[in-house]
Amino acid sequence: MNVVGMIVEYNPLHNGHVYHFAEAKRLTKADAVIAVMSGDFLQRGEPAIVDKWARAEMALHLGADLVLELPIAYAAQPAEWFAYGAVALLEATGVATHLCFGSEAGALEALQPFAERLADDGGALKAAVAEELATGASFPAAYAAAAARLLAGSGAAAAARALLEQPNNSLGLHYLIALRRLHSGIAPVTVRRRAAGYNDAAPTDARIASATAVRRLIAGGGLDAAAPYLPPYTAGILAREFAAGRGPVTWENLAAPLFHQLLLASPEQLRACHEMTEGLEYRIKKALPRLEKPTVSELLAKLKTKRYTHTKLQRTLLHALLLHPQGLLAPEALAEGPGYLRVLAFSKRGQELLKQMKQLAKLPIVTRAAELDHPQLTLDIRAAAAYANAMPARRADQLFREYRQPPLRV
Amino acid sequence: MNVVGMIVEYNPLHNGHVYHFAEAKRLTKADAVIAVMSGDFLQRGEPAIVDKWARAEMALHLGADLVLELPIAYAAQPAEWFAYGAVALLEATGVATHLCFGSEAGALEALQPFAERLADDGGALKAAVAEELATGASFPAAYAAAAARLLAGSGAAAAARALLEQPNNSLGLHYLIALRRLHSGIAPVTVRRRAAGYNDAAPTDARIASATAVRRLIAGGGLDAAAPYLPPYTAGILAREFAAGRGPVTWENLAAPLFHQLLLASPEQLRACHEMTEGLEYRIKKALPRLEKPTVSELLAKLKTKRYTHTKLQRTLLHALLLHPQGLLAPEALAEGPGYLRVLAFSKRGQELLKQMKQLAKLPIVTRAAELDHPQLTLDIRAAAAYANAMPARRADQLFREYRQPPLRV
């Protein structure tokens, strides 16, 4: 039985995801699909527009058979650790046979040679990235340049650089590297991203828009404006969640608690947070009194330099908001991989997968948050509570939903 | 020159305060008045309805010549330390000759004998209070009973008990004890509280209502409902502050950051906060998932037992909100007294007082928050920022007002 894994955020699930999903099933002849999905906070350091339960429901409608939560320890991290955590989760299911990801390249042959060279570099890549960063380059640029340097001998340096500066190629490369590092038997497959670039702010096609564009349409003109780019179930679920006051959630909904934390913390306390590196704690403390408005977007704008990407800054603020200590998210800890398989949703076929997984999985399967005591799971529960506390309508039943909510089923 | 000190909260300043002020000046033949005023958070562990600057302005209108801020290290504390901090501040001015406070007793003779007996008890009172607390009594009841026990030999036990169960008598007694402990030459004077009890929820007189009653009237019917009990300048200042979105501030305005803190903190982290004693951290963690609504008032209701007063619980939540560490507010630290005289406002006569104080004061006089680096002042600045962040209209200029705002003047 072919089981394809996909690593997703569905923020929200749109027509581009529908296309990718169909292609993944077609290319891998998959009988079942496992979606590894970020929880309430995403790789770019943002809260999701609606919570993980609503987005897992969208995934079920799409046809996913099993939705696993990528722990926030990996979900809100740079590509390297995001990919490592997600691939390790798939590998730990014991049942995934394929991994399908979108990329600008659209062909594995373009990425695989770089993965071979970069997977076991013995620290040379890391050192090269650090050198590039020291010149003031942003992380993606530094990564691409460092990879190009390491590949210089192969005559593919310029190609590598061009390739890796595209975000989905870069993420795809990290999936490939993670598969190698984990000695995984999962077969990678890539689908060329259609129509909309990851970061495109405006729709570029009559039916396909990036998730970023979809969220902007919703922010500007409500759900109706975004409807052409969404499958009907997404529009329905979003409408229901918004009506219940559970969304949309943006960084600005978290402004009051974030500012509270930043105002109270000393630079030393801020420095104890994950990703608070190279004096960013002082930069934050200096930026606060210079703001015109106490909004997260203005704080981010004031913090921005060539050196720090918007994404890096958002993630740093997220770790400060959630008081993520460095130790738990240090490379040594992350290299041990996720500690559990948290089930958010499953279909009938997913139920069969879960039965198989009871024999084959390499990690405990968690269907209720209270079942397991694990530091990564504690971070997930805390993140969900902080997210619920920032919903437009604060409700007590949402703050502790994690403990009561069984997996969603169809 | 007679200079009378008054220890106040003015939350908000009402007709009862006008009466007390006039009586204090009359009884002490004072040429000038120093008001020692709590900042943005008050003794009962609540945020003030409007910030300290607006309330200092009310004090100037009333006729106060100098308004000093009681550091939050003392302002949000049980009567013993509240009184000690406030009296120590007055003593440190070097110019105060009298201290006038309201009491239910209305005569110093009723309180002074107890102060004599209780001021230098060598720990016997503390031990007796602890014993009474261990029977499950609330703190005020335990204190009154312990004092009665210690005074048993004097034949005044029953009288002591009846006297000290009234909150302003108890506070007054602590002022007298503090004066003795500080070997102060300041002469105490007491004025009988008129018409309204401290805790009266509803007005009991056509012109006089307690501050609690005034705040309830405002919450229920707006400023107009409270106007009969307020001098016109209080009504004017409140109207202006409300219109600017700087008030009214209640605990519910702090619910989002408070819940964020409580949800993220482990019991161990909560226990590190001041006043988080006797397993209260576990009680909070257990209460949170049982709430019907994520409001502070419901959390307080769930936490309430015979043992813990509402005030004790509010203060504990306040210390958790503001991340007040135990060490800084431990008895040994508090016994050293306030570290500075922070000037919030002064009149022409107050300016002369300040000139004298430059020679006579026993502590540095601070007119700008940035002038001094002192851990208690850091707490005051943090408290002001957290308060401003909870105002109905969040504005960047309010978050750091402490650094820019010079003392108010008339």
* Per-residue pLDDT at B154: 62
Instruction: List, as residue ranges, the binding site of A for ATP.
Output: 7-20, 102, 168, 193
- Average pLDDT score over residue span A365-382: 94
Compute the nearest-CA separation of B376 from chain A (Å): 13
The candidate with the shortest Cα–Cα distance to B85, out of B370, B388, B394, B333, is: B333
- Rounded to an integer, what distance in angstroms lies between the CA atom of residue B225 and that of residue B211? 13
Cross-chain residue pair B289–A382, CB shorter than 8 Å: no
* Per-residue pLDDT at A121: 64
The candidate with the shortest Cα–Cα distance to A19, out of B271, B165, A310, A27, is: A27
In this structure, what CATH number is given to the domain that contains residue A44? 3.40.50.620
Task: Quick: pLDDT tens for B246-301.
Answer: 999 999 999 999 999 999 999 999 999 998 988 899 999 999 999 999 999 999 99
Residue A132 has pLDDT above 70, yes or no: yes
Instruction: List, as residue ranges, the binding site of B.
Output: 7-20, 102, 168, 193
Is A319 in the same domain as A409?
no
* Per-residue pLDDT at B205: 73
Percentage of residues in chain B having pLDDT higher than 70: 94
By three-state DSSP, how is residue B240 classified?
helix
Is A257 in the same domain as A222?
no
* Per-residue pLDDT at B237: 98
Is A90 in the same domain as A186?
yes
Percentage of residues in chain A having pLDDT higher than 70: 94
Does A163 reside within a domain? no
B91's tokens: 């003593």
Cβ neighbour number for residue B175 with a 10 Å cutoff? 27
Query: Which residue's entry shows tokens 């890391």?
Result: A126
Write out the residue range of the structural domain in which residue B314 sits.
251-329
Element spanning A38, H or E: strand A32-38
Does B58 reside within a domain? yes
Is B67 in the same domain as B205?
yes
pLDDT band at A400 (very low <50, low <70, confident <90, very high): very high
- Rounded to an integer, what distance in angstroms lies between the CA atom of residue B315 and that of residue B307? 15
For residue B288, give every residue at least 6 positions away whose Cβ sits within 8 Å of its Cβ, in sequence order, or none: A399, A400, B259, B262, B263, B299
- Rounded to an integer, what distance in angstroms lies between the CA atom of residue A45 and that of residue A309? 11
Count the domains in chain B. Answer: 2
Task: Quick: pLDDT tens for A57-96.
Answer: 999 999 999 999 999 999 999 999 999 999 999 999 999 9
- Rounded to an integer, what distance in angstroms lies between the CA atom of residue B209 and that of residue B18? 12
By three-state DSSP, how is residue B67 classified?
strand
* Per-residue pLDDT at B303: 95
- Rounded to an integer, what distance in angstroms lies between the CA atom of residue B333 and that of residue A253? 38
Choosing among B254, B264, B403, which should be mutated to test the A contact, i.e. which has the most A CBs within 10 A?
B264
By three-state DSSP, how is residue B44 classified?
coil
Q: What share of chain B is helix, strand, coil (3-state, %, to 5)?
A: 55, 10, 35
- Rounded to an integer, what distance in angstroms lies between the CA atom of residue B383 and that of residue A208? 49
Is A45 in the same domain as A187?
yes
Does A209 reside within a domain? yes
The candidate with the shortest Cα–Cα distance to A303, out of A292, A289, A313, A290, is: A313
For residue A269, give every residue at least 6 positions away whose Cβ sits within 8 Å of its Cβ, in sequence order, or none: none
Instruction: For A109, list phi and psi in degrees, rounded to 5.
Output: -60, -30
> B264 and chain A: CB distance < 8 Å anywhere?
yes
Residue A399 has pLDDT above 90, yes or no: yes
* Per-residue pLDDT at B256: 97
* Per-residue pLDDT at B160: 73
Compute the nearest-CA separation of B369 from chain A (Å): 14
Does B382 reside within a domain? yes
Is A306 in the same domain as A286?
yes
For residue B264, give every residue at least 6 positions away whose Cβ sits within 8 Å of its Cβ, in sequence order, or none: A322, A323, A382, A385, A386
- Rounded to an integer, what distance in angstroms lies between the CA atom of residue A320 and that of residue A340? 25
Q: Are A81 and A88 in contact (CB under 8 A)?
A: no
By three-state DSSP, how is residue B101 classified?
strand
Residue A203 has pLDDT above 90, yes or no: no
* Per-residue pLDDT at A201: 60
What is the average pLDDT value for chain B, to the nearest integer? Answer: 91
Compute the nearest-CA separation of B260 from chain A (Å): 6
Cross-chain residue pair A259–B399, CB shorter than 8 Å: yes
Most confident by average pLDDT, A347-356, A365-374, B118-127: A347-356
A237's tokens: 């679920």
Task: Quick: pLDDT tens for A250-286.
Answer: 999 999 999 999 999 999 999 999 989 888 999 999 9
Residue where a domain terminates, one of B284, B313, B329:
B329
Window from A1-5, A164-168, B34-38, B67-71 with minimum mean pLDDT: A164-168
Residues of B in contact with A264 (CB under 8 A): 322-323, 382, 385-386
Residue B68 has pLDDT above 80, yes or no: yes
Compute the nearest-CA separation of B397 from chain A (Å): 7
Residues of A in contact with B403 (CB under 8 A): 289
Element spanning A234, H or E: helix A232-243
> B383 and chain A: CB distance < 8 Å anywhere?
no
- Rounded to an integer, what distance in angstroms lies between the CA atom of residue B179 and that of residue B91? 8
Cross-chain residue pair B386–A264, CB shorter than 8 Å: yes
Write down how long chain A is: 410
Residue where a domain terminates, one of B282, B305, B329:
B329
* Per-residue pLDDT at A194: 67
Does B126 reside within a domain? no
pLDDT band at A199 (very low <50, low <70, confident <90, very high): low
* Per-residue pLDDT at A306: 82
Does A74 reside within a domain? yes
Q: Which residue has the higher pLDDT, B170 or B21?
A: B21
Residue where a domain terminates, one of B283, B302, B329:
B329
* Per-residue pLDDT at A202: 62
Is B176 in the same domain as B36?
yes
Query: Which of B 272-291 lie inside 8 A of A, CB atoms?
Result: 288-289, 291
- Average pLDDT score over residue span A233-238: 98
Cross-chain residue pair A264–B400, CB shorter than 8 Å: no
pLDDT band at A52 (very low <50, low <70, confident <90, very high): very high
Percentage of residues in chain A having pLDDT higher than 90: 73
Is B288 in the same domain as B375?
no
Residue A188 has pLDDT above 60, yes or no: yes
* Per-residue pLDDT at B200: 59
Q: Are A344 and A36 in contact (CB under 8 A)?
A: no
* Per-residue pLDDT at B121: 64
Is A243 in the same domain as A384?
yes
Does B150 reside within a domain? no
Is A356 in the same domain as A400?
yes
- Average pLDDT score over residue span A9-29: 96
Is B319 in the same domain as B176?
no
- Burial of residue A193, with CB atoms counted within 10 A of its CB: 0-12 exposed, 13-18 middle, 19 or more buried: buried
Please give the C-alpha separations between residue A58 and each of A96, A102, B189, in angstroms, as whole numbers.
21, 19, 72
Is B263 in the same domain as B208?
no
> Count of H helices and E strands in chain B?
21, 8
pLDDT band at A144 (very low <50, low <70, confident <90, very high): confident
Residues of A in contact with B317 (CB under 8 A): none
Does A140 reside within a domain? no
Instruction: List, as residue ranges, the binding site of A.
Output: 7-20, 102, 168, 193
Cross-chain residue pair A386–B323, CB shorter than 8 Å: no
Task: Quick: pLDDT tens for B319-361.
Answer: 999 999 988 899 899 999 999 999 999 999 999 999 999 999 9
> B293 and chain A: CB distance < 8 Å anywhere?
yes
What is the average pLDDT value for chain A, to the nearest integer? Answer: 91
- The DSSP call for residue B230 is S
Q: What is the rounded end-to-end Cα distance, in angstroms, of chain B?
A: 21
- Average pLDDT score over residue span A190-199: 69
Task: Quick: pLDDT tens for A295-319.
Answer: 999 999 999 988 888 999 999 999 9
Residue B393 has pLDDT above 80, yes or no: yes
Q: Are B339 and B69 in contact (CB under 8 A)?
A: no
* Per-residue pLDDT at B164: 78
DSSP A175-210: HHHHHHHTT--PEEEEEEPPS--TT-SS--SSS---
* Per-residue pLDDT at B193: 79
β pairing state of A98-103 and A66-70: unpaired
